[in-house]
Amino acid sequence: MAEANKEETRQPTVESLTAENVRLQGELDVAQAVIAGQAEQLANVETAQKQGDVVVVSYEKQQYRVLAKKFSIKGEEIKAEELGKNKAALKFLVESKSGLLVPIVKA
């Protein structure tokens, strides 16, 4: 009887630890996504410094130099420094092979 009682008290502990593990894994996933975004921004800034006074954006691990300071896409005015945050506009420019973006080749 004592053995059965010990197993009953242990079960909620295992369940609570499993739930805590799931919660922590979710937090880890969010943190890793934030770190990846910040690493991309840092790489863009470092490349922009090497290129001079230009704006650099990344799309699918490829960096691009933005040639215009401001432009319009489908009637929406977009500033070069905001393009990195506007993933839909960036995707449109890359996929349409726009002349506004020049791929940066790493030396």
Percent of the chain with pLDDT over 70: 82
Residue 9 covered by a domain: no
Q: Which two tokens stand for residue 90?
A: 């960036």
- N- to C-terminal Cα distance for the chain? 73
Residue 23 clears pLDDT 90, i.e. is over it = yes
Question: With bands split at pLDDT 50, 70 and 90, how would you rate the model's confidence at 74?
Answer: confident
Is there a domain that residue 65 lies in? yes
DSSP 15-49: HHHHHHHHHHHHHHHHHHHHHHHHHHHHHHHHHHH
Domain count, the chain: 1
Q: What is the pLDDT of residue 72?
A: 87
**Is 74 part of a structural domain of the chain?**
yes
Pick 28 or 13 by higher pLDDT.
Answer: 28
